Chains A and B, each alone.
Chain A
């Protein structure tokens, strides 16, 4: 579904990721783990078209999207729940969902909203509230819900568990498994390696912008020392 070939990206003279190649098959959950500053978020934001691609290529659904403008990538089927949620804080929950579905025809909005509110019933109770006034967990649900409004084939979620209570993290991960069951391919960026490994099909460990280990999550789950060795003290 998504294929990165020798991806290099960064900010001006600074290169955050130095040649990352990976392939995410349709319907799988792929976890990108690693310490702070390893290049996980840069990778995701480059796939979304928000960070400068400095080399290599990104192909999606068999089509090279390396040069596609950011706003057209969502229409191609790529949606993002970014680091720090980045909700439209002054707008209501409902308006945030509307924005999530902006790339699709207005007629698709009602059905998509119903689906998101079924996935996260909590948001239904908050529908008219300002997004900025929600709790951290609700904000994360809204960030995922907003991305789902775009009816993505491929969903990228950055640091879903950051700053959330374990109970809320459970809710989010339950939702992620449900999304997988619906056939959505998911790329998870996580510092919480245990959580990510529990749901992932494949894992890539990034360190200083390079892939240091890639393999099946099952293998990593069977040998807990494996990932830890690569992550060092950072995990």
Chain B
């Protein structure tokens, strides 16, 4: 029973990782940039979630504000921070991204205060039994939300013309352009979608911890980078599997190795172990 409970806990955590990492992998696939500041949108999404919920009492409304708002901010970051640097080597954009992320964290500290915010009346805190295991409603909502959002993304990329164009752009941007794809628009859409998903993850984490604080994006940021490497940079399916696997391994590891290593150390030990055995990522072709 404990094993099953841990599996569910791991999948909840993995869903959060997946929502964050998907945006990173979309950006990496298109631009070959490690978009570190992505985690800043996750944090800001969390703040908006708490503030809007506290002001209106509606968590759903909070999500509906946070997601498009972060989506647009994502496009803004692409246009102002990355687009002018595209002709430079990728590490230039990486440095810009790290700088932007630090700036965002400090801005959150200045604007929202150093101690973080909580819900005045935390929603979805009751427990429900799922296959005999007690889960918080918030945990269940996180899993369902992740499945719906990622399922929607899969439909978008696999079943629509714009999704096909997006994948074609990842494979060969010049050829996609030669057949009429507006590359700039594809980038905007990818930043919008990836950032909106990160915002959803931020709201979910706020809900699970009943806390948002300025640096809540740091650790997820490192982990999301690890996940997209494991998933084979730019590979959506690999990223999803790696995210869920990392969540589950952390959940088991915390219980069975908890007195040796802490949660984050387990995650990175897993990363190092996988990369030693499969440097091309879990599913990458050598």
Q: A residues near B, CB below 8 A?
A: 48-50, 70-75, 79-80, 82, 86, 88-91, 95, 98-103, 106, 146, 150
Contact = CB atoms under 8 A, between A and B. Distances in A.
Contacts of B177: 50, 70-71
B178 interface: yes
A89 B171 contact: yes
A150 B175 CA distance: 13
Nearest to A75: B180
Contacts of A74: 178-180
Contacts of A98: 161, 164
6 contacts: A74-B179, A88-B176, A89-B171, A90-B167, A99-B176, A102-B176
Interface centre among B164, B178, B183 (most CB of A within 10 A): B178
A102 B161 contact: yes
A101 B165 CA distance: 11
A50 B178 contact: yes
A50 B174 contact: yes
Given A86-B175, A150-B179, A102 B165 contact: yes
Given A100-B179, A150-B180, A90 B171 contact: yes
A91 B158 CA distance: 10
B168 interface: yes
Nearest to B235: A90
- Of all A-B residue pairs in the complex, the 7 with the closest CB atoms, nearest first, are A103-B180, A74-B180, A88-B171, A88-B168, A102-B180, A71-B177, A99-B168
A91 B167 contact: yes
B262 interface: no
Contacts of A89: 171
B180 A71 contact: yes
B98 interface: no
A99 B165 contact: yes
B181 interface: yes
Interface centre among B175, B177, B181, B183 (most CB of A within 10 A): B175
Given A48-B178, A86-B175, A146-B179, A106 B161 contact: yes
Contacts of A150: 179-180
A146 B181 CA distance: 14
Contacts of A71: 177-183
Interface residues of B, number: 17
B253 to A, nearest CB: 34
B51 to A, nearest CB: 41
A94 B168 CA distance: 13
Contacts of A50: 174, 177-178
A112 to B, nearest CB: 12
Nearest to B184: A71
Nearest to B179: A102
Contacts of A102: 161, 165, 176, 179-181
Contacts of B180: 71-72, 74-75, 102-103, 150
Contacts of B178: 48-50, 70-71, 73-74, 80, 82
Nearest to B171: A88
Nearest to A89: B171
Contacts of B167: 88, 90-91, 95
Contacts of B164: 91, 95, 98-99
B175 A88 contact: yes
B171 A103 contact: no
A50 B179 CA distance: 12
A80 B161 CA distance: 20
A234 to B, nearest CB: 28
Nearest to B176: A99
B165 to A, nearest CB: 6
Contacts of B168: 88, 91, 95, 99
Given A71-B177, A146-B179, 6 more contacts: A48-B178, A49-B178, A70-B177, A74-B179, A88-B167, A99-B179
